[in-house]
């Protein structure tokens, strides 16, 4: 858009400095461009008139046309109200106003025909409307029909400054009169023709004041396509530029890896694991920096893929590090991989916040000298004192737990050649979100569980069935199995009626006096957690009572039952992660979702989804639809999700089409130098440059 759209809002007719400052503070609207892209979030249907006799409680906002048959002011002072009757051929509607009574008393007229617009309610079988909009029927408005835009505003603006949706609508209307001639086309003629897109100026007019539903749909499609097209174009250009400009170490020697494959690895890899390892190996041979996202459901075998990648680095004289978000998970990785590292003669270290000072000093020295090839740890890896001789590969597990600034620090650990980057997540990412959040990364997916794993049986039980559930626990423990019981809170909450951990621990202790019980929660020290975890891992306790601290990082193949108390309290992705703590051995495992009878619609959807499927990617798609992209995986930290109109939960088809369009253009004209791409090039040049390119940092 032109410089016209950078004009401050205070210069728009009827706004002024004070209102402009309020709009900036409350809604983030500072310029003409901000306001014209403040799209309505819904529309009131002013295309249809209802008969009064057909009104009922379940309706949203509707309009009727009728004659004002009488009005009177009732009460005095704060309780003063104006009550009127509006009638049509089918019946009579009572309308009432509690505010603006003196003004309304002067302007509304008996025996005048009005359009009445509001939300109907029923009282003693008769329809009523409180504070409806009232508009005289004139010849001009008699046949009027339109969709009225509704804009988000804030309570402060509405209640104290009278800047409600209708006030914003008037501002937008005034702006469009002077702005539409200034709108320049941002897409190429070929794209507009290929996808049947409305021109930009018409789309802006119709998105705010649609003449009909068809034109509104076309305007939405145009603006969503454009928004997602430029997101994808940016990500794909970054991906191409990275592969051209960022060199990476070449890892082509793999003798230790071959030895590990032939002589040490105690199981066969799945086809999916082999495919992913081959993709990583190709990256290592390319001479360009690898920037790859590895998705794999809980228990799919990502850690062994990470270790094999680290072996490739070690075989080529490079060091590698694996960073995990918690000490528990870092220790699990370390213990699991040290068995193999020792057999291969590889020096594998562990660095966490609780590593003793003496051990730290030795570890730092070995890293600087290059005698330690692999390091597993937590955020402690990011400390400036941790220096490598030749860091060639960085791996982040459950990468969404780290901030982008933290992740970027790992890049700086090798000042000569940027390390290869592998980020792993056991939180399946919906395809549309992955294409947007990680559109500039190469993506690998392990979509196959190791042989012998049985699908976890998941059931939903109400609190009334607790005795039967406890008997099932006894039966499982009698078979030598172990049980998790997870609670959403540590202490009782006055506002949330959920099972809390302290009360739960006492109840479980009373129910199973013959059993040993561990307890783990986030307020315990690392030493206390480790002690309790070790008791459970060593089968000294049969039941683990915990909060979601065990969501990641616990690998106990003997645990076969996961009971989640107040399961309606948890998000779908979190329920799936918790379920993944069982099902790690050869025995049949179970997940029991415990709730009360009072459940919201979304809660029921989450529970039904968990019972129906173990597929993490299907669960992630449903989770995205329920929660929206901004809440999923903490993705609100990424500017790429600041979408104005597109919705990743609903617009997957448009996203796919826009990405394909962007890729096709870059394949033929990577620098956007051709004349037919002038609109696209000029639009990109007009966008503000970002100070830090976070999206390149995995």
Supply the pLDDT for residue 142: 44
Choice among 433-442, 538-547, 576-585, 674-683 with the minimum mean pLDDT:
433-442
Angle 213-245/652-668 helices, nearest 10 degrees?
50
Chain segment 185-232, per-residue pLDDT in tens: 999 999 999 999 999 999 999 999 998 889 999 999 999 999 999 989
Is residue 554 included in any domain, yes or no? yes
Co-location of 291 and 431 in the same domain: yes
- Report DSSP letters for 523-578, one per residue: TS-HHHHHHHHHHHHTTS-SEEEE-GGGSSS---TTEEEEEETTGGGS-HHHHHHH
Co-location of 373 and 295 in the same domain: yes
3-state secondary structure of 488: coil
Is residue 668 included in any domain, yes or no? no
Chain segment 494-546, per-residue pLDDT in tens: 555 556 778 888 889 999 999 999 988 877 887 788 788 888 888 999 999 98
What tokens does 645 get?
């109109």
Co-location of 366 and 289 in the same domain: yes
Supply the pLDDT for residue 494: 52
Co-location of 472 and 506 in the same domain: yes
Q: What is the pTM of this model?
A: 0.70
CATH code (residue 546): 3.40.50.300
In the chain, % of residues over pLDDT 90 = 46
Supply the pLDDT for residue 309: 96
Query: Contact 477/466 with Cβ under 8 angstroms?
Result: no
Reference 130, options 163, 171, 94, 154; nearest CA is 94
What tokens does 219 get?
């305007």
Put residue 100 in one of left, alpha, beta given phi > 0 → left and psi -120 to 50 → alpha.
Answer: left
Neighbour count for residue 128 (Cβ, 10 Å): 18
Co-location of 308 and 435 in the same domain: yes
Co-location of 138 and 283 in the same domain: no
Supply the pLDDT for residue 156: 83
Is residue 637 included in any domain, yes or no? no
Query: Contact 590/460 with Cβ under 8 angstroms?
Result: no
Co-location of 484 and 379 in the same domain: no
Supply the pLDDT for residue 634: 45
Chain segment 346-360, per-residue pLDDT in tens: 999 999 988 999 999
The separation between CA 326 and the C-alpha centre of its own chain, rounded to angstroms, equals 22
Co-location of 580 and 479 in the same domain: yes
* Mean pLDDT on 81-104: 89
Task: Report the C-alpha gap between 355 and 191 in whole angstroms.
Answer: 58
Max mean pLDDT among 241-250, 664-673, 682-691 falls in: 664-673
Supply the pLDDT for residue 636: 39
* Residues 6 or more apart whose Cβ sits within 8 Å of residue 524: 532
Q: What is the DSSP letter of 480?
A: T
pLDDT greater than 50 at residue 154 = yes
Is residue 672 included in any domain, yes or no? no
* Mean pLDDT on 397-404: 65
Task: Report the C-alpha gap between 633 and 462 in whole angstroms.
Answer: 29
| Segments in 271-326 forming alpha helices (H) | 271-285, 302-315
Co-location of 433 and 489 in the same domain: no
CATH code (residue 85): 2.40.50.140
* Residues 6 or more apart whose Cβ sits within 8 Å of residue 445: 272, 276, 294, 295, 296
Task: Report the C-alpha gap between 214 and 88 in whole angstroms.
Answer: 31
Co-location of 396 and 467 in the same domain: no
Domain boundary among 613, 640, 661: 613
pLDDT greater than 50 at residue 143 = no
* Residues 6 or more apart whose Cβ sits within 8 Å of residue 523: 490
3-state secondary structure 92-138: EEEEEECCCHHHHHHHCCCCCEEEEEECEEEECCEEEEECCEEEECC
Is residue 206 included in any domain, yes or no? no
**Of 301 and 591, which is predicted with more confidence?**
591
Is residue 190 included in any domain, yes or no? no
Domain boundary among 613, 648, 681: 613
| Strand-pair partners of 115 | 65, 135
Supply the pLDDT for residue 495: 56
Binned at pLDDT 50, 70 and 90, residue 148 comes out as confident
Supply the pLDDT for residue 697: 38
| Number of residues assigned to the chain | 698
Domain boundary among 144, 179, 194: 144
Binned at pLDDT 50, 70 and 90, residue 404 comes out as low
* Mean pLDDT on 86-111: 87
Is residue 602 included in any domain, yes or no? yes
Co-location of 405 and 318 in the same domain: yes
Total domains in the fold of the chain = 3
Co-location of 417 and 479 in the same domain: no
Chain segment 313-330, per-residue pLDDT in tens: 999 999 999 998 888 788
Task: Report the C-alpha gap between 698 and 411 in whole angstroms.
Answer: 10
Supply the pLDDT for residue 692: 34
Binned at pLDDT 50, 70 and 90, residue 267 comes out as confident
Task: Report the C-alpha gap between 505 and 545 in whole angstroms.
Answer: 6
Count CA atoms within 13 Å of residue 497 on its CB side.
5
| Strand-pair partners of 348 | 374
Supply the pLDDT for residue 639: 45
Supply the pLDDT for residue 1: 54
Is residue 349 included in any domain, yes or no? yes
pLDDT greater than 90 at residue 131 = no
Print the domain residue range for 369. 255-446
Sort strands 62-74 and 113-118 into parallel, antiparallel or unpaired: antiparallel
């Amino acid at each position: 858009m032109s410089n016209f759209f950078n004009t401050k809002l205070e210069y728009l007719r009827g706004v002024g400095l004070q209102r402009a400052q309020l709009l900036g503070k409350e809604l983030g609207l500072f310029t003409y461009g901000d306001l014209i892209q403040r799209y309505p979030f819904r529309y009131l249907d002013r295309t249809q008139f209802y008969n009064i006799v057909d009104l009922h409680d379940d309706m949203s906002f509707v309009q009727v046309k009728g004659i004002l048959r009488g009005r009177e002011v009732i009460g005095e002072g704060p309780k003063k109200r104006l009550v009127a009757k509006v009638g049509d051929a089918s019946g009579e509607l009572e309308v009432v106003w509690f505010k603006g009574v003196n003004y309304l008393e002067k302007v509304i007229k008996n025996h005048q025909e009005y359009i009445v617009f509001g939300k109907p309610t029923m009282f003693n079988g008769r329809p009523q409307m409180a504070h409806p909009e009232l508009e005289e029927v004139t010849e001009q408005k008699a046949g009027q029909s339109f969709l009225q835009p509704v804009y988000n505003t804030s309570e402060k603006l509405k209640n104290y400054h009278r800047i409600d949706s209708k006030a914003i609508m008037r501002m937008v209307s005034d702006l469009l009169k002077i702005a539409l001639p200034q709108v320049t086309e941002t897409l190429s003629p070929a794209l507009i023709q290929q996808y049947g897109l409305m021109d930009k100026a018409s789309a802006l007019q119709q998105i705010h004041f649609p003449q009909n539903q068809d034109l509104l749909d076309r305007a939405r499609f145009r603006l969503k396509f454009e928004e997602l097209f430029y997101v994808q174009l940016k990500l794909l250009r970054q991906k191409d530029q990275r592969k051209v400009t960022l060199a990476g170490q070449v890892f082509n020697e793999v003798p230790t890896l071959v030895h590990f494959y032939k002589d040490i690895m105690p199981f066969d890899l799945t086809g999916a694991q082999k495919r992913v390892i081959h993709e990583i190996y190709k990256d290592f041979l390319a001479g360009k920096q690898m920037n790859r996202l590895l998705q794999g459901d809980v228990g799919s075998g990502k850690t062994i893929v990470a270790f094999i990648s680290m072996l490739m680095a070690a075989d080529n004289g490079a060091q590698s590090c694996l960073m995990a978000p918690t000490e528990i998970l870092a220790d699990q990785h370390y213990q699991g991989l040290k068995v193999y590292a020792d057999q291969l003669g590889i020096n594998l270290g562990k660095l966490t916040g609780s590593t003793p000072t003496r051990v730290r000093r030795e570890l730092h020295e070995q890293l600087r000298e290059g005698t330690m090839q692999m390091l597993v740890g937590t955020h402690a890896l990011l400390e400036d004192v941790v220096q490598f001789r030749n860091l060639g590969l960085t791996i982040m597990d459950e990468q969404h737990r780290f901030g982008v600034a933290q992740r970027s620090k790992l890049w700086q650990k090798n000042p000569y050649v940027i390390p290869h980057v592998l980020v792993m997540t056991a939180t399946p990412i919906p395809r549309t979100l992955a294409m947007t959040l990680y559109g500039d990364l190469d993506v690998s997916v392990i979509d196959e569980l190791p042989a012998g794993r049985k699908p976890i049986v998941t059931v939903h039980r109400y609190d009334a069935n607790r005795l039967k559930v406890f008997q099932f626990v006894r039966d499982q423990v009698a078979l030598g199995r172990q049980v998790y019981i997870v609670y959403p809170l540590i202490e009782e909450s006055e506002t949330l009626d959920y099972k809390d951990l302290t009360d739960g621990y006492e109840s479980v202790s009373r129910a199973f006096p013959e059993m040993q019980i561990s307890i783990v929660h986030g307020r315990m020290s690392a030493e206390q957690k480790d002690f309790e975890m070790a008791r459970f891992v060593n089968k000294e306790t049969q039941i683990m009572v915990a909060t979601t601290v065990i969501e990641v990082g616990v690998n106990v193949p003997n645990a076969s039952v996961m009971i989640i108390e107040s399961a309606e309290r948890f998000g779908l992705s979190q329920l799936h992660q918790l379920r993944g703590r069982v099902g790690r051995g050869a025995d049949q495992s179970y997940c029991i979702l415990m709730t009360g009878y009072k459940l919201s619609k979304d809660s029921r959807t989450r529970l039904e989804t968990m019972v129906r499927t173990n597929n993490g990617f299907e669960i992630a798609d449903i989770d995205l639809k329920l929660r929206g992209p901004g809440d999923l995986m903490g993705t609100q930290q990424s500017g790429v999700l600041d979408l104005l109109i597109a919705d990743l939960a609903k617009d997957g088809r448009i996203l796919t089409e826009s990405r394909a369009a962007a890729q096709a253009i870059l394949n033929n004209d990577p620098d956007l130098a051709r004349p037919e791409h002038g609109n696209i090039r000029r639009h990109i040049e007009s966008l503000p440059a970002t100070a830090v390119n976070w999206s390149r940092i995995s």
